[in-house]
Structure 1
């Protein structure tokens, strides 16, 4: 992949590219695009950008009277779209039109500001998300006339309700059956091949996940904050297109079906010196988990702000269908090593490996905007380090089985139970975000999410008719 503008122009010429997809991310986290002729690219394109964006048509961006915006290509993200002939894509930064500078509600701008802030404090951070997803054969939605009722039906070749010739996966038994029980390995492998060959990924693993009906996971090599967020958006884009090629649908929705595990995005995080020569979270003399005092402070910051973080890392009404006990999703604010009932765990597969020492924050799901999520996690961790926030003692038992009195004794709080509750927390606890998250962005984000929650509250759920029709 190109490393600068000159190489990007050569890339377009050498690969006989005719069209380039300019891609960017809106505030809720959806990938957007506009396609232009490759012949429009020249030496100034990467400096001046392209005046191709009506910002008033993008959620969370601008008003109709200030809608002219610029998309500036990021040359390092230029890559071929292999399922289209003569087409490439490039991620972009969003600028105000009229020479007014960078657009402050561009999610990637927030990520860049987070990187700038950590560098000023002498740090570099690395992120390694585990993206889970479902691949369904088909989903039928009945929402055309919601006044007469709504509903959906999932068709999934591996599921117990599908005619699958006996090759089914029972509920919670999807981790890790070999083919032919795992019927979607070919699609996952095609997706990781595409990511590796065309988009510069280093893939560490792909496998079936716990749930039935086509739940999978793809893990890629950790990287810096903004680059990792770019990769999350790219992975989602590639997997959805590969699945569509096979007449299937890939979704990163947190909880698409009842009775089985939802979809998370467990995020591994480590904090290093700015020159990346020392992992500040590693202490070989720590007997518990080789986690340093700095690492403990980072954990303390994330735990302290976990309820407010929920509004960003678990950002949809559906996210809170996932965050319930019994489905390996975190509900309580505690930390531990090798304990998947805690919201933060310290992976402890090996000892004596500085480069591997990190924490795993288990609350995020892949419906989040990764630029905002990783920036918020970093700011919470730095707040813990700067204020020396003690995370308390680790909890090395199944937290789901603790009594309410025992949890209270240990200082364990619950995560919010709804998006509205999470937004309440974000509005009352956001000072730790202020160095990076400007007020304009936060206010618009909260307004968008309040409107989303309000809209969904107005729709009767199909199961409400089951429970209440005889009232």
Structure 2
């Protein structure tokens, strides 16, 4: 059993906030292995008990589309994440993220959030704290799946139907303590971007999940559909989830080098080298759908090989250099992830790869290396799944239970896709053959 504990200041704050805001229900949030949001709703009368003892759920809910056997686990709320949902003013509903434990109180091997927490604990043991910023791209469609505008990169349109959705989503996020840096129209028709301010990695993963929920809710209120599908339109740019990462040591950015000719410190360069060296192994996590590899196809400014650059858009990693004199600005930008990923597993794998580079003193290749001489990223989900399956690093970071659950879902997706006749096949072959 999960033992009762004295109320923490965070738990007391959650209880006080719930009473002051007259909250009636609380949704206990967690994600499955695919990063899809799951929830259990409890009446406010059960919140104190849930904070002390957790709430029992069926652990097979963590397994994604291809569920395993039922197993008893406990959803234990993290009271530091308690927030009233601003889009439920009449129902007065709050949410809190949960960690999933086994009945004996130990972390569940299938909990994505716990996997990221373990990697961050490893970083802390080395003396580092991860800071992460995120550029989250998504599309808006009408109820028939058609784009709601014909805008392009940074367009300002007085009648842009997406602007009120972006604006209202940002208001909700900031009302929940998630600061937003900027937003704008992206390159494709009806494509948008919201940029989240740097924070610790676990809070960023929570924020990405919250942003997806908020955008979908706001879009629905406007009669639209918000989609985080990586590549919803043929011939248009896909949506990315660009991650900006830096390590801090004793409150100082360990990626910063005072020499303006060096964009990263030796430690930052080793972290970068680790990300590049293990990128093929974690691509099935940063790009987990067959559709993801349509975005990574040539011609749409998405990375194809494990290269890095100071400028340009087609390398896997960009090292921003527009403010070399600012220590806090030193970072790497990973450009391969898409917003359909599980942000907990993606960040755990990427951070773990970078830390491996630091610990083993990896050497980064030269920037802008010619792609034919650099290892390519996987071109298909099947190739990415094979690389994940054989990754000693990722299995060490996440554990076999999570990796095998990801692979079970991906193999199932690939089998279903293999048996599905597409509209492209019908268009090109039905009358020709």
TM range, normalised to the smaller chain? over 0.9
Aligned residue number for residue 4 of structure 2: none
- CA shift at 1:286, angstroms? 4.6
More displaced stretch, 279-288 vs 256-265: 279-288
Aligned residue number for residue 182 of structure 2: 205
Once the two structures are superposed, the pairs formed by residues 22-421 of structure 1 within 5 Å of their partners are: 22-42=28-48, 44-51=49-56, 53-60=57-64, 63-64=68-69, 66-84=70-88, 85-97=91-103, 99=104, 101-139=106-144, 154-159=145-150, 169=151, 174-180=152-158, 182-197=160-175, 199-212=176-189, 214-273=190-249, 275=250, 277-289=251-263, 291-395=264-368, 407-408=371-372, 411-421=373-383
Does the alignment pair 1:451 with 2:383? no
Q: Is 1:3–1:76's contact at 8 Å kept on the other side of the alignment?
A: no
Does the alignment pair 1:465 with 2:426? yes
Consecutive aligned runs of 4 or more in structure 1 exceeding 3 Å deviation: 60-64
Q: Is 1:117–1:436's contact at 8 Å kept on the other side of the alignment?
A: no
- CA shift at 1:116, angstroms? 0.8
- CA shift at 1:67, angstroms? 2.3
Structure 1 CA distance for aligned equivalents of residues 371 and 97 of structure 2? 45
Deviations 1:24-76 (A, max 9, x none): 1001110001111101122x53231112x122344359744x52221111111
Structure 2 CA distance for aligned equivalents of residues 56 and 444 of structure 1? 11
Q: Is 1:55–1:69's contact at 8 Å kept on the other side of the alignment?
A: yes
- CA shift at 1:359, angstroms? 0.4
Deviations 1:252-294 (A, max 9, x none): 0000010110000011011121x3x2211111115142x1111
Structure 2 unmatched runs, 5+: 1-7
Aligned residue number for residue 5 of structure 2: none
- CA shift at 1:232, angstroms? 0.6
Structure 2 CA distance for aligned equivalents of residues 56 and 107 of structure 1? 13
Structure 1 unmatched runs, 5+: 140-153, 160-168, 397-405
Structure 1 CA distance for aligned equivalents of residues 228 and 318 of structure 2? 23
TM (norm. structure 2) is: 0.94
Q: Is 2:188–2:236's contact at 8 Å kept on the other side of the alignment?
A: yes
CA 1:119–1:185: 2 relative to 1, 3 Å: same
Q: Is 1:117–1:435's contact at 8 Å kept on the other side of the alignment?
A: no
CA 1:468–1:335: 2 relative to 1, 3 Å: same
CA 1:327–1:3: 2 relative to 1, 3 Å: farther
Question: Matched residue of 1:108: which SS?
Answer: helix
Question: Matched residue of 1:32: which SS?
Answer: strand
Q: Is 1:188–1:206's contact at 8 Å kept on the other side of the alignment?
A: yes
- CA shift at 1:434, angstroms? 4.0
More displaced stretch, 181-190 vs 343-352: 181-190
CA 1:181–1:83: 2 relative to 1, 3 Å: closer
Structure 2 CA distance for aligned equivalents of residues 272 and 234 of structure 1? 25
Structure 2 CA distance for aligned equivalents of residues 423 and 244 of structure 1? 34
Q: Is 2:83–2:95's contact at 8 Å kept on the other side of the alignment?
A: yes
